[in-house]
Amino acid sequence: MIVQALPSPNHNDRAGGIDPDMLILHYTDTVDAAEALALLTSRVAEVSAHYLVDTDGTVIHLVQERRRAWHAGRGSWRTRGDINSRSIGIEVQNPGHRCGLAPFPDIQVAALITLCQRILGRWPIRPDLVLGHSDIAPTRKRDPGELFPWATLAAAGIGLYPPDLTGPGGRIAEGMRGPLVFRLQTDLSRFGYAVPMTATFCPVTTAVVLAFQRHYHPERLDGVWTGTLQAKLAWLIRQCPGEG
């Protein structure tokens, strides 16, 4: 893993001086790493991340891990707001949905795995708190996207990825209401997603289901809940000590 330093001015103190306990993964949504780096170091743009991983596996170190980088924006997970104060953020070079989602090259994934393993060795970050930007901001963000190799990362000890499970239950989709929708919202919220507890399958619920599919079941991206997704969510909740 080749690491280059390119300090970004876009960082500040972590609120309360707390240590990071989350790892948030992004794609850059740019045509190349040069475009991403221009943004991530611009005083005007006021965004950053701790690291950028280029398609050739080069890792660019932008912000010291003790500092609060500005990558997450508005978002939440369980009781956690101000995700920037609680997390390490990594941008992974990819054209994204904006410029043409592309597979992540093996050499890039290998570098990302090494980087993540080192970060997880330095900070007490639980597997269930290795998340995508779309998980913590499902109504605003789609990154790192449905091609992101979450299963490969989980096999390397980074984050959670449910096994192939199927479960009973019919389809639950936007516009439906009632106890089944309320139970779905309760379970998504228990795991961590910010979902309204309205017992109505509203557009925000759809956005959360899509975020769940992008991360844990990318085979289908239709915003419709099924017994298979419920079985995977139940498995994920069981992996969260004290919060399941």
Contact residues toward Zn ion (CB under 5 A) are 26, 133, 143
The yes-or-no answer on residue 91 being catalytic is yes
For residue 49, the minimal CB distance to Zn ion (Å) is 8
For residue 84, the minimal CB distance to Zn ion (Å) is 12
Which residues in 35-54 are b (16+ Cβ under 10 Å) and which e?
Answer: ebbebbbeeeeebbbbbbbb
Kindly name the residue from 35, 46, 65, 91 that is annotated as catalytic. 91
For residue 51, the minimal CB distance to Zn ion (Å) is 13
Q: Please report, as a single letter, which amino acid is at residue 11.
A: H
In the bound state with Zn ion, the residue whose beta carbon lies nearer, of 48 and 185, is: 48
- Spatial distance between the Cα atoms of 194 and 218, rounded to a whole number of angstroms: 20
In the bound state with Zn ion, the residue whose beta carbon lies nearer, of 81 and 169, is: 81
Q: Please report, as a single letter, which amino acid is at residue 128.
A: D
- Give CA angle at 18 (28, 3), nearest 5°: 40
For residue 163, the minimal CB distance to Zn ion (Å) is 27
Which residues pair with residue 11 across a beta bridge?
Answer: 69
In the bound state with Zn ion, the residue whose beta carbon lies nearer, of 48 and 226, is: 48
In the bound state with Zn ion, the residue whose beta carbon lies nearer, of 128 and 143, is: 143
Phi, psi of 51 (to 5 degrees): -140, 155
Helix, strand or coil for residue 172?
strand
| Catalytic residue numbers, as ranges | 91
